[in-house]
Structure 1
Amino acid sequence: MDIREIQNLIKFVAKSGATEVKLEMDDFKITIKTTTEGAAEAATAFVQHIPVQQAAPVAAAPVAAAPVAAAPAAADENAKYITIKSPIIGTLYRKPSPDKAAFVEVGSTISKGDVVCVIEAMKLFNEIESEISGKIVKVLVDDASPVEFDQPLFLVDPS
């Protein structure tokens, strides 16, 4: 199957209204996913035995310029704050138990060694302590939500 045949297949899938089509042959696999508008989102070719070129996406969503321009301004605003990040993967809890108050809220003053949250990993609850002193400016994660390693949790104003 050459590139022209793959492109024709993408156009056919986009017109048909199907949201996902998988085609598997002896020497390659192709998965085509479309958006709700019917435009082809991506086409991926995985080669197993003989080289086959990948098809480029037929239609791509336009990138909005406004959010891109706003992102650097937000980064500059947060540059003066220190970020407390997750040291492990797990589920973050902002309270020691469901009936207790949160460890910290926006505006709370913390000292080095204060517990700011608890992360559950494999049925073990790990207290996350602050490595800095300051004031909580922003809470970046909701209670009982999953977190990744090195994910920002809190912004702290050290002044």
Structure 2
Amino acid sequence: MAMDLRKIKKLIELVQESDIAELAITEGEESIRITRYSPMPATISTQPSISAAPISPQAKMTNQYNVSSSVVSQVSSPPNTEGFVQVSPMVGTFYAAIEPDDVPLVKVGQRVSQGEVICIIEAMRMMNPIQAERDGVIRAIWAKDGDEIVFDQPLFSLI
């Protein structure tokens, strides 16, 4: 049975009226994901997928995320550092390299250009390349390979 178009429209309105960036709902074998922001232009699907935690019935009905307390505890206020702090544009799993055994895309001290892919975030089993928002030198990397991250979590400091 297909999801009701009226329900989908109502969910879109709820996302637009709230301050959430993304909403994912599963009903039986069907699922829908509504994001406030446009996706990255390209995806990379070479990383092994990691199963996501199921969305609780309360989260399905109240626009809340099913985020474990360990993820929330990892998020603190932005790092106290000079320069620009690039934050995560989405919830997902942080990967420093394209393949598990590859060298990281960036390291501390490396110069990056705006638009250069600096990490991968897996969200909803899609690999999303995250690009540097500006030119600079990587001063700090705030996430480790495999870390679960949340929206607006600091990822890199650039100077």
TM-score (norm 2): 0.50
Q: Which structure is richer in relative contact order (CA contacts within 8 A, separation 6 or more)?
A: 2
More strand by share: 1
Whose radius of gyration is greater, 1 or 2?
1
